[in-house]
Amino acid sequence: MKKDLSFLLLVLFIFSILSCEKETKREPYEGTWSITTSGYGFQMKDVLTLTKSTFIDLGSSLINDVWVTTWGSKGTMVVTDINVVLTFTHAGGAEYNYLTDTYGEFIWYGSGTPQFEDMLQDMGGNVTLNGEFLVAGDTLTTRFDLDNDDLYISANEVTVYTR
C-alpha cells in the first residue's frame, strides 16, 4: 500500500511538471522589447509588450530626467511564422500643456471613439497592419509596410528592439 502511494505521488509529480512546461512555453517574440532614440533635442523610448495574441506599444519622452508616457496603441494580433497582423483596438495619449510645459494624465481611447479615430489617422489610418517579426536572441526586428509599396525602405518601416 505504501509502495503504491509513493508510486502514485511520483506519477502525479511528473505530470504536474510536464503540464507546467506546456503552460509556460512562450513564442520567441513574446515579452517586453524596447528601443531608445535621440532626436530634436530630446530622448524617446518605445516599449513594445507582446503576448501570443496581444500587443501594447508605449512611447515615452525623457522630460526633466523622468520618462513620461506620451502616446500608445494596443490591440490584438495574429502571428503565423514571421508574419503578423496587428488590429488596433485602443490608442492613447497624454495632452501637452504649453503653458506649464507638462503632460497630463495618459488616457486610452477605444475603437469607435472620436479620439481613437483621430489618433488612428495620425498612425496612418489603418485599423489593421500587416508585417513581420524577426527574432534573433535578444533582438526583435519589426517590419511593417506603412506606405503599401511592398518594400521596407521608407522611414519607420523597420524597427530593431532589444529585450
Task: Domains for the chain: give ranges and CATH numbers.
Answer: 27-162 (2.40.128)
User: What pLDDT sits at residue 29?
Assistant: 97
Position 78 scores a pLDDT of 97
Predicted pLDDT of residue 122: 87
Burial class (CB in 10 A: 0-12, 13-18, 19+), 64: exposed
Contact 77, 99 (CB under 8 A): no
- Kindly give the parts of the chain with pLDDT less than 70: 1-24
At residue 161, the pLDDT reads 97
Determine the pLDDT at residue 3: 57
pLDDT of residue 155: 75
pLDDT value of position 25:
83
C-alpha span between 62 and 43 (Å, rounded): 5
Give the per-residue pLDDT at 15: 46
* pTM, rounded to two decimals: 0.81
